[in-house]
Amino acid sequence: MINKIISIKEATDMVKDGMTVMVGGFLANGTPENIIDALVEKNVKNLTLICNDTGFPDKGVGKMVVNKQFKKMIVSHVGTNPETAAQMNSGETEVVLTPQGTLAEQVRCGGNGLGGFYTPTGVGTEAAEGKEHKVMDGREYILETALKADVALIRASVADKKGNLKFNKTMRNFNPIMATAAALVIVEADRIVEIGEIEPEHVMCSGIFVDYIVGGDK
């Protein structure tokens, strides 16, 4: 069996300038904070972020926003991080505001080999500009394309050494679907256990999607 457990430094060395990065979490709950801190220290730049939100200035991916490490952010909510709004309004950073359900489905499509999906959400608004429109059963839809990433950085409550994951309560959020939609998946686990210690029915993300694991110190 391949050893999937690596150091934080080894993990962050895999994140290069210009990459597209998915980061799990919902208002920083379920975000791999130690990896984020290491990326702030590394100061990797010109990244494209795909995340539910931009956290807070001092928590979650918000710390990377404050450090101006993103050239583009595809997110559904920015209200808890004033720095995101400042960069968006100044034109310094491109921010693509996406309805939360649409964002989740775009990621799901990316992980399932689908090109995209038609949705009525956004029809008649600025969100529909430049997108393909289609009328089905008398209702208008717009095409939203799939989202994929070079790397997904996610967090789990428990990981076994094969990469099977368990999430505590709402920590689950975007983490499992992001694990399916990136070429490289790095998990920060609160706890790392032996294979078989997570009951099969409690596995919320299969180890087949996980390339590397860091953490385990909790």
The pLDDT of residue 141: 97
pLDDT digits (tens, 9 = 90+) for 161-197: 999 999 999 999 999 999 999 999 999 999 999 999 9
The pLDDT of residue 2: 80
The pLDDT of residue 127: 86
Whether 147 has a pLDDT exceeding 70, the answer reads yes
State which H helix or E strand residue 118 sits in: strand 116-119
pLDDT digits (tens, 9 = 90+) for 97-125: 999 999 999 999 999 999 999 999 999 99
Instruction: Report phi then psi at 161, rounded to 5.
Output: -70, -10
Whole-model pTM above 0.85? yes
Query: Amino acid identity, residue 176?
Result: P
Considering the domain boundaries, does residue 62 fall inside one?
A: yes
Domain of 73, CATH number, reads 3.40.1080.10
Please give the mean pLDDT across all residues of the chain: 96
- Which one, of 35, 54, 29, 51, lies nearest residue 168 by Cα? 29
Task: List CB contacts of 73: < 8 A, sequence separation 6 or more.
Answer: 48, 49, 51, 54, 65, 84, 93, 94, 95, 96
Domains in the chain, number: 1
Look at 1-5, 20-24, 119-123 and tell me which has the smallest mean pLDDT.
Answer: 1-5
Considering the domain boundaries, does residue 2 fall inside one?
A: no
pLDDT digits (tens, 9 = 90+) for 51-64: 999 999 999 999 99
First to last CA, the chain: 24
Asked if 150 contacts 181 with a C-beta cutoff of 8 angstroms, the reply is no
Considering the domain boundaries, does residue 131 fall inside one?
A: no
State which H helix or E strand residue 75 sits in: strand 70-75
Considering the domain boundaries, does residue 83 fall inside one?
A: yes
Whether 218 has a pLDDT exceeding 60, the answer reads no
**What is the residue whose two structure tokens read 């299969």?**
206
Give 52's Cβ-side CA count (13 Å radius): 23
